[in-house]
Amino acid sequence: MARTVLCACEDVTLEEVRRAFAEGHRDLESVKRYTGFGTGPCQGKSCLAAVAGELLRLGATPAEIAPFTARPPLQPTPLALLATADPGALPLDPGVPPPAAGPRPRPQGGPLPERARVVIVGGGIMGLGLAYQLCRRGERDVLVLEAGYLNAGASGRNGGGVRAQWSTPTMIRLARRSLALCRSFAADMGVNVWFRPGGYLFLAPTAEQVARLERNAALHRAHGLATRVIDPEEAARIVPELDRRRFLAASWNPDDGVVFPWPFLWGYASRAAALGARIRTFTRVTGFEREGRRLTAVRTDAGRVTCEVVVNAAGAWSKEVAALAGVPLPNRPTRHEILVTEPLKPWLGPLVSVLGNGLYFSQSQRGELVGGMGDPDEPEGVVSGSTLRFLSRFARAALECVPRLAGVKVVRQWAGCYDVTPDNNPVLGAAGFDNFLQLSGFVGHGFMMAPAVTEAMAAWMTGGEEDEIFRRFTLARFERGETAREDFIIG
């Protein structure tokens, strides 16, 4: 078969690039995500020019084909080599800010309408999931405004972990609903999300953490989960490569799993659009107009839209967006770094997470190890630069856990932001204005919460059932001091 292969690492052909363009993925970042080009071991070195050339021929502008952010390391590098750097000698730094804004890609999706009943700020999984769920319930005059491409925010940068192992009944309930929606997402939405229930394995290195896992497991069982606390021998039957000297016990739920995040956004976006929602990418919200206790219009860099309801679903930027309306949120956006390795044949079933040091990793559908690790010293700030410190911290922690990974090579690192709140629970409901609804503060687990939370929010917004979360997780709880901390956070 004489194919024209533009990306030899990932086997992406000219025909596939053209199809992606025809389906509306018109800038290089979007085409990269949709086709997978440039994400293989060569890092886009040999295919970038070929794909950019084709997009130019198809009508893209130079701003739309600007190279994607360079993702170190430049060559596949064994974890064992990265582990030789001492993280203590690598002080934390925000990394390199993105280059000063050059020409921006054109707004996509059509001209900005003059009015829309519901304007959703942010086209991440929250914003798009909500748009779809509103449309399904008959509220179709919905406009989603996204500053970048779809998947530009945390929704396009996360680990894809979906679990029901939480420490409060509310979170367990929401997560179970999300897991059910993940299982049928491909069938319901017509796009593969590669949901793979390989389980979640939490490793507890100390007796205190074992006790915590046991408390949680009891709660889980009371809520119908299959969670069990198992000994290192049994954990090693699930992942034989684990170094069992490193933990005392593990908590295991075989029904948790991992997904491939990006297609969720494409699925929600295309189904919402088919039902009438309008989605405008490369359109940034720059301010609001108000009258008394209501927001009356949304200003953007592409024009102004009058509206009846505004939803702030801007993820880690929610605080910034709320500030545009003069509403202070207590959210603290915090960088979280992550990496992937070369693709390997299947060897790892579950997502493994180590309590205490924030390490987690799983194997993606494509075979890569996807892993991250929080840094306790990370300051607040919306930054997405990468650090060498993270590479060495991750490598050291991962090799302690699975020594067999020593020769596995890292091919790409990047960062996104957690949207952290004082009690690790979200901020929902109206804030500051009667028609300014919040949908933020999902820390490091918003992806798995989104299917369930957006469904509940659409029901609540369209006069259906009011889930307790819209009473409990209001902004006002922080003033009233009615907070209950969720502590089962990874990273």
Partner 1 sequence: MPRLPEPRFVPDCAILVDGVEVPARAGESVAVALVAAGRPLVSRSYKYHRPRGPFCLAGSCGSCLARVDGQPSLRTCRVACRDGLRVETQNAFPSARHDLLAVVDRATPHGLDHHHLLTSPVALNRVVVEVSRRLAGLGRLPDRAPGPFPAATLETFDALVVGAGPAGLGAAEALAAAGRRVLVAEQAPRAGGRLRAGLPLRGEPPLAWAAEVEGAVGRAGGELALATAALGLWRDGGSPIAALAAEAPPRLRLVRASVLVLATGGTAVPPVFPGNDVPGIFAGRALAVARAEHGLLPGARCLVLGEGEEAAAVAARLAGGGLEVVARPGPALLARGRARVRAVELAGERLRCDAVAWVTPPAPAAELARELGARLELLPALSAFAVAVDAEGRTGVPGLFAAGEVTGPLDGAAAAAAGRRAGEAALRG
Q: Using CB atoms within 10 Å of the CB of residue 373, give its burial: 0 to 12 exposed, 13 to 18 middle, 19+ buried.
A: buried
Does residue 137 interact with partner 1 by CB under 8 A? no
Look up residue 50 and give its amino acid: A
Contact 322, 432 (CB under 8 A): yes
Residue 132 sits in the site that holds partner 1 (CB under 8 A): no
Burial class of residue 220, CB neighbours in 10 A (0-12, 13-18, 19+): buried
The amino acid present at 222, given as its one-letter code, is A
Stretch that binds partner 1, among 192-200, 204-212, 313-321, 466-474 (CB under 8 A): 192-200
Question: Would you count residue 481 as binding partner 1 (CB under 8 A)?
Answer: no
In the structure encoding, which two tokens stand for residue 206, read together? 């100390």
Decide: is 409 part of the binding site for partner 1 (CB under 8 A).
Answer: yes
Q: Interface residues for partner 1 in 66-95 (CB under 8 A)?
A: 66-67, 69-70, 72-78, 80-82, 84-86, 89-95
Q: Per CB under 6 A, which region of 187-195, 240-248, 309-317, 424-432 contacts ligand FAD?
A: 309-317
57: exposed, middle or buried (Cβ count in 10 Å: 0-12, 13-18, 19+)? exposed
Residue 193 exposed, middle or buried by CB count within 10 Å (0-12, 13-18, 19+): buried
Residues, the chain, total?
491
Task: Tell me the chain's radius of gyration from C-alpha atoms.
Answer: 22
**How near is the Cβ of 58 to partner 1 at its closest, in Å?**
12
* Sign of the four-CA dihedral 28, 29, 31, 32: positive
Q: Which residue in 195, 317, 390, 433 binds ligand FAD (CB under 6 A)?
A: 317
- Find which of ligand FAD, partner 1, none residue 99 binds, CB within 5 to 8 Å per kind: partner 1
Phi, psi of 370 (to 5 degrees): -115, 120
- Residue 381 binds partner 1, judged by CB under 8 A: no
Q: Which does residue 158 touch among ligand FAD, partner 1, none (CB within 5 to 8 A, set by kind)?
A: ligand FAD
Stretch that binds partner 1, among 288-296, 309-317, 359-367, 430-438 (CB under 8 A): 359-367
- Which residues from 155-184 bind ligand FAD, rule CB under 6 A? 155, 157-161
Name the residue among 217, 177, 223, 183 with its Cα closest to residue 200. 217
416 interface partner picked from partner 1, ligand FAD, none, CB below 5 to 8 A per type:
ligand FAD
Given 122, 333, 358, 371, the residue binding ligand FAD (CB under 6 A): 122
Q: Which does 109 bind (CB under 5 to 8 A by kind): ligand FAD, partner 1, none?
A: none
**Residue 337: CA atoms inside 13 Å, Cβ hemisphere, count?**
27
If contact means CB under 5 to 8 A according to the sort of partner, which of ligand FAD, partner 1, none does residue 152 touch? ligand FAD
Judged by beta carbon, residue 167 or residue 192, the one nearer partner 1 is 192
Stretch that binds ligand FAD, among 39-47, 48-56, 199-207, 414-422 (CB under 6 A): 414-422
Q: How far apart are CA 393 and CA 435, in angstroms?
A: 44
Q: Which does 53 bind (CB under 5 to 8 A by kind): ligand FAD, partner 1, none?
A: partner 1
CA dihedral for 126, 313, 128, 363, sign (positive or negative): negative
Q: Does 387 bind partner 1 (CB under 8 A)?
A: yes
- Would you count residue 87 as binding ligand FAD (CB under 6 A)? no
Q: Which residue has the tokens 């025909």?
A: 15
Q: Answer yes or no whether residue 171 interacts with partner 1 by CB under 8 A.
A: no
- Count of residues engaged in binding partner 1, rule: CB under 8 A: 97
Q: Please choose, from the candidates 11, 483, 10, 488, the residue with its C-alpha nearest in 3D space to the C-alpha of residue 213.
A: 488
Determine, following the binding rule CB under 6 A, whether residue 393 of this chain makes contact with ligand FAD: no
73 contacts ligand FAD (rule: CB under 6 A): no
Select 229 or 448, whichever has its Cβ closest to ligand FAD: 448
Q: Which does 121 bind (CB under 5 to 8 A by kind): partner 1, ligand FAD, none?
A: ligand FAD
Ramachandran region of residue 166, left (φ > 0), alpha (ψ -120 to 50) or beta? beta
Cα–Cα dist 53/48, whole Å: 8
Strand partners, 298: 288, 305
**Cα(305)–Cα(288) distance, integer angstroms:** 10
- Asked if 196 interacts with partner 1 (CB under 8 A), we say yes
426-465 positions binding ligand FAD, by CB under 6 A: 442, 444-448
d(CA 82, CA 392): 5
According to the binding rule CB under 8 A, does residue 24 interact with partner 1? no
Q: Which residues in the 234-253 window bind partner 1 by CB under 8 A?
A: 241
CA 348 to chain centre: 21
Q: Does residue 263 bind ligand FAD (CB under 6 A)?
A: no
Contact footprint for ligand FAD (CB under 6 A): 121-127, 145-148, 152-155, 157-161, 284-285, 313-317, 321, 336, 338, 372, 416-418, 442, 444-448
